Amino acid sequence: MELYLDTANLTEIREIASWGVLSGVTTNPSLIAKEGRPFEETIREICRVVQGPVSAEVTALEAPAMVEQGRRLAALDEHVVVKLPTTQEGLKACKVLSSEGIPVNMTLIFSANQALLAARAGARYLSPFLGRVDDISWDGTELLREIVEIVQIHDLPVRVIAASIRHPRHVTEAALLGADIATMPYAVFKQLLNHPLTEIGLKRFMEDWEKAKL
Ligand code: E4P
């Protein structure tokens, strides 16, 4: 399973990219707005750092405008993946952009049937939102399980991104369920690595090494 950062913050992206484990980045209008920098310039810069798929979401709501904005975003860099909401207009735009060879990530997926529709419209990526499903007392990992199973049974040419990840356990569950990618906030990425026993163990190794003075 590949690991993506879900952020538009370049400092965070540079840090995690430096670990050598970052395969891509997803953004959305809320994440872009949080940074307060020009949208297209930010996407270009993220692409330069990541050198892997970078999802940039359209803000238009009608299919023709989504297609126009999607083409413009795709022209920014070869790594751009156009992100579209899973709505009727999003499906129409997905069909057009996909048929032009532009990779599309269908976002805001909350049901297996939405995932099926997005796949039929030619999406390259499907983004079910685990955390937001959990937030309404449903089961985000169950949604992911259904979608991964449908993709596998029907051999659909899509990659499943476990999105809206809230904690490290979501990442483990996504990997066990066979998601292709997990996209997560910076804080969760850090939590994947940090473990108190690793810190304690390293401290003890260093103390013993100092005492021995070999
Ligand atoms: C996915 O691509 C979305 O940007 C993201 O995962 C949404 O997560 P949130 O529910 O934490 O906002």
Percentage above 70 pLDDT, the chain: 100
> Does the beta carbon of 86 lie inside 6 Å of ligand 1?
no
214 — pLDDT class (breaks 50, 70, 90): confident
Rg (CA), the chain: 19
Closest to 54 (Cα-Cα) out of 33, 28, 72, 34: 28
From atom 11 of ligand 1, which residue's Cα is the shortest distance away?
164
Of 164, 166, 167, 189, the one to substitute when testing ligand 1's pocket (max ligand atoms within 8 A of C-beta) is 164
Asked whether residue 212 carries a pLDDT value surpassing 90, the answer given is yes
Q: In sequence order, which residues have a C-beta less than 8 Å from that of residue 151 and are 6 or more positions away?
A: 115, 119, 126, 158, 160
32 — pLDDT class (breaks 50, 70, 90): very high
Mean pLDDT on 190-202? 97
Give the domain CATH number at 94: 3.20.20.70
Q: What is the pLDDT of residue 204?
A: 97
Q: What ipTM was reported for this prediction? A: 0.97
Of 34, 83, 203, 211, which residue is the catalytic one? 83
From atom 7 of ligand 1, which residue's Cα is the shortest distance away?
164
Asked whether residue 188 carries a pLDDT value surpassing 90, the answer given is yes
DSSP state of 138: S
Q: In sequence order, which residues have a C-beta less than 8 Å from that of residue 85 and are 6 or more positions away?
A: 57, 106, 107, 108
Q: What is the pLDDT of residue 119?
A: 98
Mean pLDDT on 186-193? 97
Mean of the per-residue pLDDT values of the chain: 97
Q: Using CA atoms, how far apart are residues 70 and 24, in angstroms rounded to an integer? A: 18
Q: In which domain, by residue range, is 13 found? A: 2-212
Distance 28 CA to ligand 1 centre (A): 7
- Six-digit token pair at 2? 């590949």
End-to-end CA distance of the chain: 42
Q: What is the pLDDT of residue 55?
A: 98
Instruction: Judge residue 174's burial from the number of C-beta atoms within 10 Å of its C-beta, 0-12 exposed, 13-18 middle, 19 or more buried.
Output: buried
174 — pLDDT class (breaks 50, 70, 90): very high
Instruction: Assess whether 83 carries a catalytic annotation.
Output: yes
- Six-digit token pair at 168? 């490290």
Asked whether residue 213 carries a pLDDT value surpassing 90, the answer given is no
What is the tally of structural domains in the chain?
1
Percentage above 90 pLDDT, the chain: 99
